[in-house]
Amino acid sequence: FTGVADDVYSVYYNPAGLATLTRPELATSYSKLLTGLSDNSNLQNSFLAYTQPIREGREGSWALAWNQLTLDSLYKETSLYGSYARALFAKSQPNKLYGGINLKYLSRSVGGTDVANTALGTTGNALVGVKDPVLQNASKTNIDADLGVLYRVRPRWTLGLMVQHLIEPNIAFSSNDTDKLGRNYKFGASYKAPFSTLAGDMVF
C-alpha cells in the first residue's frame, strides 16, 4: 500500500498519501488474530484513525490515529499517531509530489504472568523462587517518527517511499538492555486501472 496511499489508512502505510485527500475520513477496524490457539490465548488488534484536510487539501491534511495490540492481560502495545502531509514544490509540480510525517507515542507493557514468577539463570536454567526482574508488570514508553513521500509519475502511476521508525527507539523494558526498533525502508509502486489497482512493495 506504500505506493497507493489514497485514504485515511495512509497514516499507517505512508503518511504522504494524506495530502491527496480533499474531505474528512474516519476509519476503524477490529481483528481477533490467530483464533483457536491451544492455550485459548485471545490476541486482538484495534485501529482508529481520522483525517481532516485543510481548505479541501490545498494546505495539506492532518490526522490522528490509535493502534493497539493486546494478548489478554499479559501484553499490550499502543501507538498514538499525530500526522501531517502536504504537496511539495506545488508551484513547479502541482499535485505530483507529496510529503508526510508521523509523530508517534509508543507504549508497551507486560502484566502478571506465571512465567514472570521464575527467573532464568545465565545458562538458561530456571531459578525457582526468584522472580524475573524485567517482567514484573514492566512498561516502556517511547517517541518515534515516520517519513513518507508519494510521487505521481502519471495520472495512473504512483511511486511511494516510507521510512519507518526513523528515531530507532530503544523499547527494552530493562534500562540495562537494548532492543531497538530497526529502521524500515519501504518502496512501493501502483497502477490504477479503471476497475482495479495493481500494487507492489519492497521492504528493507
- pTM metric for this prediction: 0.85
Distance CA 151, CA 80 (A): 26
**Tens-digit pLDDT profile for the chain (204 aa)?**
999 999 999 999 999 999 999 999 999 999 999 988 888 888 999 999 999 999 988 899 999 999 999 988 788 999 999 999 999 886 555 668 999 999 999 999 987 666 667 788 888 888 888 877 766 668 899 999 999 999 999 889 999 999 999 999 999 888 888 999 999 999 999 999 989 999 999 999
Joined together, the cell numbers standing for residue 16 give 504522504
Contact 203, 165 (CB under 8 A): no
pLDDT of residue 91: 58
